[in-house]
Amino acid sequence: MAMEELRSGTVRNFVGGEWTTGAGDPIPVTDPGSGESMGAVTVSTEADVDAAVAAATEAYAEWSRRPVEERVQPLFRLKALLEDHQDELATLLATEHGKTFSEAKGELRRGIENVEVACGMPTLLKQGSGIVERAAPGIDESGIRQPLGVFAAITPFNFPGMIPLWFLPHAVATGNALLLKPSERDPHTPRRIVELCEEAGIPDGVVNLVNGQADTVNAILDHPGVAGVSFVGSTPVAEHVYERAAATGKRVQAQGGAKNHVLVSDSADLAFAAEQTVSSACACAGERCLANDVICVFEDVYDDFCEQVAAAAEAQTVGYGPDDPDVGALITEEHRERVEGFVEESVDAGARLLVDGRDVVVSGHEDGVYMGPTVLADVDPAMRVAREEVFGPVVALTSVSGMDEALSVLNGSEFGNAASLFTGRGGEAQRFRREADAGNLAVNAGTAAPMAFFHFGGEKASFFGDLHAQADDAVRFYTDQTVYIERWPDA
Ligand code: NAD
């Protein structure tokens, strides 16, 4: 579809193989980098959700009986289609989200990785399925993984291409049917992915798109026909989803918000650590759950490191996402004001502003929502900027006496999504691995983003549930483990 059509059209639902309109009032969608309209997205009511669950339930009956080898064939085609359309999808994603074209392409690559992993479902389903002969007199016993029915995936705005693909391929390959409820802020990319699912030959009703906001989510959470919910979004909503879905007996995996720390040892390669730190904090304009934005630097190298971070931040270009600068737009004006509020409050409380990105203007896109990389030094770990998720391109530097204090700041956080350590000492790396309370850890890498063949971690207020997204955990989440005991009187 041409961009002009997208800018005026409404993103619809996809239910039982038909493109339909929800009965709610549509929500406008805006290109945050230019301020131009991106049309609207339909809103699904309880009745629309009910119809989607009915279509998915019907499709599940047939789909779950198909051999797994047959179920993965459309996923091989989906991988090829996503690759063929990667540039088109990345342009769409960068336009409606604001991130850069390269970031959008990278995000899609990480999503495609999940499709590749799910293509191996015939092998993955063998997990925990060993047979024990003569488990008891005359008895053989084994474990079997079976699909559960209809699942829902509720996803956030910040990765509209990748996060639906954390869930969709695994849910489908394990034999379930899915309702995808993407963010209402950038619904075009998930819509296009669902179109490609249709083109890949995933049967009608197996993948359904149900757009909307909180009311639509609540209708999904309350629906007795939904077996389980995968959620990614902010912590208060993750907690709500976890509790409300569990109240009706669903299984739930709910990934929440984050506050991620970087520890910089005096033994680290400082130039490398500074470049990685700025890139981690400012990629996707800081709108990443893996953004490392609290930087705990050993006091001996603190001043030197602050200077290097400031220089790296000043070198970043800010611009319109599809033009592929280093840093694109934030999602809304309201969000930018919130991010700027963190900066003002920190400066008032005594932090030093080394780089101020608040007044940046992108020529030709004056109505876009931009903020350049911003660096705060001498941040006290008790300040709000060091405790709460900022979700903007803001780096907060704090001086620590050494590993003890750095770990104490990190582990004092309410969140436990990710953390990185830059060091030249093996002993520090080992201690970090053992003692850091976060679900995704990296040493000498700015962003602890697991490949699709590992689960995506998360602890404390960053995760509610027990089985995470991706890989083995995804297989376990989307299947029931039945134990099968067999005895024959003629044996
Ligand atoms: P959000 O919580 O506002 O929305 C997420 C989803 O929930 C959307 O589909 C939205 O429509 C729906 N929703 C919003 N409010 C709701 C409510 N009151 N009741 C029911 N449903 C509701 O999150 P967002 O702003 O779209 O995404 C950013 C957040 O997601 C950040 O906090 C970020 O850290 C987090 N995130 C976490 C991970 C992770 O892996 N832990 C990954 C990506 C994003």
3-class secondary structure for the chain?
A: CCHHHHHHCEECEEECCEEECCCCCCEEEECCCCCCEEEEECCCCHHHHHHHHHHHHHHHHHHCCCCHHHHCHHHHHHHHHHHHCHHHHHHHHHHHHCCCHHHHHHHHHHHHHHHHHHCCHHHHCCCCCCEEEEEECCEEEEEEEEECCEEEEECCCCCCCHHHHHHHHHHHHCCCEEEEECCCCCCHHHHHHHHHHHHHCCCCCCEEECCCCHHHHHHHHHCCCCCEEEEECCHHHHHHHHHHHHHCCCEEEEECCCCEEEEECCCCCHHHHHHHHHHHHHHHHHCCCCCEEEEEEEHHHHHHHHHHHHHHHHCCCECCHHHCCCECCCCCHHHHHHHHHHHHHHHHCCCEEEECCCCCCCCCCCCCCCCCCEEEECCCCCCHHHHCCCCCCEEEEEEECCHHHHHHHHHCCCEECEEEEECCCHHHHHHHHHHCCCCEEEECCCCCCCCCCCCECCEECCEECCCCECHHHHHHHCEEEEEEEEECCCC
Sign of CA dihedral 179, 185, 187, 189: negative
349 Cα–ligand 1 center, Å: 29
**What's the rounded Cα separation, in Å, for the pair 139 and 199?**
47
Domain boundaries, the chain: 3-256+462-484, 260-443
130 — pLDDT class (breaks 50, 70, 90):
confident
For ligand 1, say whether the CB of 389 is within 6 Å of any of its atoms: yes
Residue among 312, 273, 269 at smallest CA distance from 296: 273
Render pLDDT for 148-164 as a digit per residue (tens, 0 to 9): 999 999 999 999 999 99
328 touches 284 (CB < 8 A): yes
**Pocket-testing residue among 157, 288, 455, ligand 1, by greatest number of atoms within 8 A of Cβ:** 157
| Token reading at 430 | 């080992």
Ligand 1 center from residue 157 Cα (angstroms): 7
**pLDDT tens digits for range 55-77:** 999 999 999 999 999 999 999 99
Measured in angstroms, how far is the CA atom of residue 399 from the centroid of ligand 1? 32
Question: Which residue do the tokens 């207020």 mark?
Answer: 461
Please give the pLDDT value at position 327: 98
Q: What is the atom index within ligand 1 of the atom nearest the CA of 218?
A: 20
Instruction: Report how far ligand 1's centroid is from the alpha carbon of 234 (Å).
Output: 4
Catalytic residues: 289
For 435-462, how does the pLDDT look when each residue is reduced to its tens digit (9 = 90+)? 999 999 999 999 999 999 999 999 999 9
Q: Which atom of ligand 1 is nearest to the CA of 331?
A: 25
Backbone angles phi, psi at 108, to 5 degrees: -65, -35
- Chain segment 386-400, per-residue pLDDT in tens: 999 999 999 999 999
The confidence band for 1, taking pLDDT boundaries of 50, 70 and 90, is: low
Give the pLDDT confidence score for residue 2 in this predicted structure: 72
Supply the residue whose CA is at minimum distance from atom 17 of ligand 1: 214
Average pLDDT in the 124-141 region?
92
| Nearest Cα residue to 460 out of 439, 481, 446, 480 | 439
* pLDDT value at 3 more than 80: no
Instruction: Record the pTM.
Output: 0.98
From the CB of residue 388, how many other CB atoms can be counted at a distance below 10 Å? 14
Whether residue 392 has its Cβ less than 6 Å from ligand 1: no
Q: What is the pLDDT of residues 233-287, one digit of tens each?
A: 999 999 999 999 999 999 999 999 999 999 999 999 999 999 999 999 999 999 9
Judge if the beta carbon of residue 155 lies within 6 A of ligand 1: yes
Predicted local distance difference test score (pLDDT) of residue 100: 98
Query: pLDDT tens digit string along 346-390?
Result: 999 999 999 999 999 999 999 999 999 999 999 999 999 999 999
Q: How would you list the strands of the sheet with 177-181, edge to edge?
A: 18-20, 13-15, 207-209, 177-181, 150-154, 228-232, 251-255, 463-464
**Confidence band for 491, pLDDT divided at 50, 70 and 90:** confident
CB 43 less than 6 A from any atom of ligand 1:
no
**Interatomic CA distance for residues 336 and 327, integer angstroms:** 14
Check pocket membership of 289 for ligand 1, CB cut-off 6 A.
Answer: yes
Query: What share of the chain has pLDDT > 90, as a percent?
Result: 97
CATH classification (class only), 260-443: alpha beta
pLDDT tens string 182-208? 999 999 999 999 999 999 999 999 999
Q: Answer yes or no: is pLDDT of 427 > 80.
A: yes
Closest atom of ligand 1 relative to the 182 alpha carbon: 9
- What is the rounded distance in angstroms from the CA atom of residue 400 to the CA atom of residue 381? 10
Q: Which tens digit of pLDDT belongs to each residue from 401-414?
A: 999 999 999 999 99
In the predicted model, is pLDDT for residue 218 greater than 80? yes
**Is the minimum distance from the CB of 210 to ligand 1 under 6 angstroms?**
no
Q: What is the CATH number of domain 3-256+462-484?
A: 3.40.605.10
Q: Which atom of ligand 1 is nearest to the CA of 157?
A: 26
Alpha-carbon span 13 to 21, nearest angstrom: 6
Whether 311 has a pLDDT exceeding 70, the answer reads yes
Task: Answer whether 176 contacts ligand 1 (Cβ < 6 A).
Answer: no
